[in-house]
Structures are given as structure tokens and as C-alpha cells.
Structure 1
Amino acid sequence: MPAHKGVDVWAPKVFQHRGRTWLLYSISTFGKNRSAIGLASSDRPDGGEWRDDGVVVASVATDNFNAIDPDLFVDRDGKLWLSYGSFWGGLRLTELSADTLRPIGSTRFIARSPAIEAPTIVRRGDWVYLFASYDLCCKGADSTYNVRVGRARSVTGPYIDREGKDLMDAGGTHLLAASGTRWKGPGHQDVVGDWLVHHAYDTERGGKPHLRLKRLSWSDDGWPAAAQEE
């Protein structure tokens, strides 16, 4: 990932598209929404040398959204969808052109909460699932991060939790949270097959973050579950 003096670079998303390896990443300063989602690419599957492909979407202080934490979802019809967001107005969704990888059509909010970020969208059968991280990260052992989920019949929503509450109204079924004494603040998830990839803060190692994996199981009515952090 490229270095940017004076700002932070985080939340990479790597994907394959038309014979190239692409990297979406966030450029921002923690706690501010003067941010951008950048794009780079390589002609080698292992990355190799990266080409700068510019900015996909950006936000400034007067906007009601924060352009960080990108996720790319490719639906069954081949359409590409970019979701992103952190705090401010919530999580947003826009279709990307398959040719330019830039937004086309309208951009909409798909989830809101006082503290929400890091969307992940996946399809399972006829349902599209939106996973997101709620509450606060980056406070070591005091982090309150947790992962919640909703689902919809279409990528554009509306995303509803298991109790029937819209994620636009701060809904979200709890999937993963701290339940023991060691691991705190699990979040900033991704879903790879039946695995939930995330980080959590280890109270036995000074509250430092560590990469974690949890296998997902699925109920008969189509809701995911994961073992809680011990």
C-alpha cells in the first residue's frame, strides 16, 4: 500500500477484475471525514509493482459521510457494488462501472447508527447479507467493537435484522462481541467463504490487536452464527 505523509492508510480490499489484481484502500486522518478511497492495480496475482489508478470516491468536512473502509461485492448478474463508510451518516452503496471502476448511478445509505463502519456484503442463496462493525475500535482493551448483520433480497436493500428492524434505523443482529476476559472489541470483519475474518484486542498482550478467524454456521432460516470471543 502507498505511503502518505501525515495521513493514515488502512482497510485494504483486494480483488481480481479483467485479468488484473486491484486494491481499494482508505486514506484519512483518524476521527475526521476528509478522506478518500484510492485504487491501485497490478498485472501480477501476487501484487508485484502497483499502478496508481487514482481516487474512486472522496469526502470532505462538509459531507455527511466518510469515504473509508471500502468493500467490493460482485453480484450474480456481474454488477460491481462498492460499499463504504464510517460514523457520520452511516454506510453507503454505489454501483461501479465495470470499465472504469468509478461510481455510476445513484449512491444511497444502507445502514445508520451513531457508531457504525466497515461494511461487508456477501450473497448466500437468495439473500444478500450486510455485516458491519458497531461502536468503538482502536482503544486497546477498552475497545467496544462488535459485529452485527442484516439481510436483504437485493444488494440495494433494505437490510433487515433477525428481529425485523431496518439497519437504517440502527438495527443489526449481534454476531460477534467480547464475552470473556481476554479478547475485546472484535470487528472490522470480512467474510471469506464460511470464515469470519476480523481483529480483536488481546488483554494478555497489552491490548494489542491480532488477526482472528471464526467459522460461521448458518441456521435453517438463513442467519449466520459465530462462536463468541473468550
Structure 2
Amino acid sequence: MRSGPAAVLAAAALALLPATASARTAYPDPLPLTGQQIIHDPTVHQLPNGRYVAYSTGGILGARLSTDLTHWTDAGNAFTTPPAWWYDYNSTADPWAPDLTYRDGRYWLYYAVSSWGTNRSAIGVATSPTGLPGTWTDHGPAFTSEKTDTWNAIDPAVIRAGGRLWLAFGSYWSGIRMTELDPATGKALADAPVHHLATRPDAPYAVEGPSILHHGGYYYLFASYDACCAGVNSTYKIRVGRSKSVTGPYTDSTGTPMLNGGGDLLLSGHGRYAGPGGESTFRTRGKTWLAYHYYDATDGGTPKLGLNQLRWRAGRPVVK
């Protein structure tokens, strides 16, 4: 759920971070927020009426609403009841890590259903005419993985590129992958190849939660590295690389491929803001924003929404 399998989150293994480029050594704090800030793995979108909606892990995909990006209110859940097929992948029908997009006159919500520590997983898809909680129609699995696969079908991120529709995904196992979707159904094309975008050289291959942004002729792959979901002990951090092609290869500012453990360090824990990750990006009013969760060290490690504007320096993103 932009969270890797618990069985492989060994502290010693997580310490094996390869030498990669670091974008900066000090980090700005996130935008000051008020209201309902508790969130995990956020995806944010501005609706036509100017309001912002955020969906996240927790509940039946918890929803938050805002008129100004700074004050957020609880808006219930995307779904009123879990679709029955979720129970095939999770005994409590617990969905993770949603991704919200708009195309062809509808809002599309992708999300993961799995169980902690296994790669028998599914990415589901739902549509809505408004993008608001309680209006979603579920369409079942869009892509799945089994224990015999070398990837894990969770943490979806959808992007249109070159007139085609693509799904990035992945958590641990072999890292970040990508496959092509049918634009009509929003589901994976039959027999479409699965491309490999990012991994690390050592087990447990602690990279997950992709998000892809197109800017200035490049595609930028953001991913969460290290350990999620341990409150103030979380070691999550966000790294990024870029490519001319949506399917890669993605490299950092030193030229190191993300398939070889590369990735510029974009955001890491600092001060009260522990373990930032589970990121996504969105654009509004001419600005590009990075949305993520962090664990608040002044509030018992409660996961909260982080928002930072993205700026560009020598063709690479930095947080403001």
C-alpha cells in the first residue's frame, strides 16, 4: 500500500541503500495544513468546481475534501461497501494506495487489494462521473499478480503517453514495473509485456509506490524507498529519475539507471516529518505539487498529508 511485505522488512537489509545521487541535503517543510490531516498514500485531484479531493489507504479508500489545499475535511469513503471480489485477495477487504485520474469524460480510480507479505495481488479499477466519494462504480480487477510472478501488482499509477495508456505498479519483489492498458476498459491489454522500470541490487528490493509525471520532454519516475508503516521509525524516502520514454530507462542526475539502484534523493525525513513517501503528483493553477504522507513525530507517529510544490532545476525536480 505503498507498503512492502512485512516478512521482508528486515532492518539490516533495509540499511543496504546503494550509493545514488542526492538532490539536496536539507528539505523544506510541507505546506501548513488544518482540519483532517490524517492520510496515507494520498492521491489528489482538483475537481471542476474548484474543490480538491484526496483519496487514500484506510477505510474503504478514505476521502478528504478541501477548497484551498490547506484546510481538509473528512468526506467518508470512495465506496459504501467493499466489492465482493476484494475478499479473494484480502480477508478484510482492505484496499491500498489509490490513484485518481480523469479522462474521456470520467474519473478513474485505481487501487490495490492484497495481503501483507504476499504478491498474490490485484489492482482494481472504478469510474465516477464526478470523482466524489459514494459515486464510484467498480469494474473489477484491471491487473493481477500471482505468487509465481516476479512482481507485485499493487501501488498503481496511470499515465497517458504517446497516445497510449500505461499502468506503473510495484512493491518489493523486483521493484517497479509497467504494462499497457486498454483505454476503453481501463484494464490491462491481453498479453501486453511487463516492462521493468526500477529496482535495487539487494534483497528485499525495497522500492515501491511509483508515480510518473511528464514535464519538459521527459517522464519522471518517483518512487518510495526503504520501510513504510512503522510510525516515527519509518525510513521511507522519495527518489526520482527521468527518461525520454515512458517505459524507460530511467536514470538519475549521475547517469545511474534506476534499474541499478539509481535515483536522486528528492525528499527524506527531517525534524518532525518522519518517513515521507506514498507519493503522487498533481497540477493545479499552473503549479505542480507533490502529495505524500509522513509520520508526525510530535503526534505519536500519526500519518499525515504532506504537500510541497515541485520546482525544476537543471531539468530535475526539487521540492519547495
| TM-score interval (norm. to shorter) | over 0.9
Aligned length, in residue pairs: 224
What amino acid is the match of 1:183? Y
2:233 paired residue number = 142
Q: Does 1:192 align with 2:272?
A: no
Deviation at 1:65, TM superposition (A): 0.8
Q: 2:179 aligns with which of 94, 108, 128?
A: 94
Deviation at 1:49, TM superposition (A): 2.9
- Work out whether residues 85 and 91 of structure 1, in 8 Å CA contact, stay in contact via their aligned partners in 2: yes
Q: Which stretch of structure 1 is more off in the superposition, 47-56 or 64-73?
A: 47-56
1:158 paired residue number = 249
CA distance in 1, matches of 2:169, 2:136: 22
- Work out whether residues 68 and 86 of structure 1, in 8 Å CA contact, stay in contact via their aligned partners in 2: yes
Q: 2:317 aligns with which of 216, 224, 229?
A: 224
Q: 1:35 aligns with which of 118, 121, 126?
A: 121
Q: 1:178 to 1:44 in 2, by over 3 A?
A: closer
- Larger strand fraction of residues: 1
Q: What are the equivalent positions in structure 2 for 1:59-74 lying under 5 Å apart?
A: 59-74=145-160
What amino acid is the match of 1:157? G
What is the TM-score when the length of structure 1 is the normalising length?
A: 0.92
Answer 1 or 2: higher relative contact order, Cα 8 Å, separation at least 6.
2
* 5+ long unaligned stretches in structure 2: 1-77
Q: 1:144 to 1:17 in 2, by over 3 A?
A: same
Q: Does 1:108 align with 2:220?
A: no
* 5+ long unaligned stretches in structure 1: none
Deviation at 1:38, TM superposition (A): 0.5
Q: What are the equivalent positions in structure 2 for 1:172-183 lying under 5 Å apart?
A: 172-180=263-271, 182-183=272-273
Q: 1:203 aligns with which of 287, 297, 311?
A: 297
RMSD over aligned Cα, in angstroms?
1.5
2:46 paired residue number = none
Q: 2:135 aligns with which of 49, 73, 76?
A: 49
Q: Deviation digits for residues 17-53 of structure 1, max 9, x if unmatched? A: 2222221111011222121000111233435432221
Deviation at 1:149, TM superposition (A): 0.3
CA distance in 1, matches of 2:215, 2:130: 30
CA distance in 2, matches of 1:198, 1:56: 24
CA distance in 1, matches of 2:250, 2:186: 25
- Work out whether residues 149 and 175 of structure 1, in 8 Å CA contact, stay in contact via their aligned partners in 2: yes
What amino acid is the match of 1:56? A
Give the share of equivalent positions with the same residue, in percent: 44
Deviation at 1:192, TM superposition (A): 1.3
CA distance in 2, matches of 1:45, 1:103: 22
CA distance in 2, matches of 1:54, 1:153: 32
Q: Which stretch of structure 1 is more off in the superposition, 40-49 or 169-178?
A: 40-49
What amino acid is the match of 2:212? I
CA distance in 2, matches of 1:216, 1:51: 33
Counterpart secondary structure, 2:298? helix
CA distance in 2, matches of 1:116, 1:45: 29
Q: Deviation digits for residues 110-139 of structure 1, max 9, x if unmatched? A: 111210001011110111100000000000
Q: Does 1:215 align with 2:309?
A: yes
Counterpart secondary structure, 1:185? strand
Q: Which stretch of structure 1 is more off in the superposition, 38-47 or 162-171?
A: 38-47
Q: Deviation digits for residues 73-117 of structure 1, max 9, x if unmatched? A: 112x33111100000011111111112222233111111121000
Counterpart secondary structure, 2:193? strand
- Work out whether residues 7 and 29 of structure 1, in 8 Å CA contact, stay in contact via their aligned partners in 2: no
